[in-house]
Amino acid sequence: MKLDPLLEEAIVATVSMIALAAFIALSFYALTGISPWPFVILSECGAFGMGIILLTMSSPRRRRP
């Protein structure tokens, strides 16, 4: 079963945003020693949806075979 190319791009964008959010939160904790909750995590939640949309819509268009 083939997935729609837009759905594939949305899945890749979601995984990318999760990896970026985890990296930012862990880096913040490693550099400051302060828990990233609630400021960093809540800010990431707001940017999460916009990041997925921007990554999905700006990806190259592929045609279905």
Read off the pTM.
Answer: 0.75
DSSP symbols for the chain:
-PPPHHHHHHHHHHHHHHHHHHHHHHHHHHHH-S--TTHHHHHHHHHHHHHHHHHHHTSPP----
Under the banding of pLDDT at 50, 70 and 90, the label for residue 61 is low
Residues 1-29 have pLDDT tens digits of: 788 877 888 888 889 888 988 999 999 99
Give the chain's mean pLDDT: 83
How many Å apart are CA 36 and CA 4, to the nearest integer?
A: 36
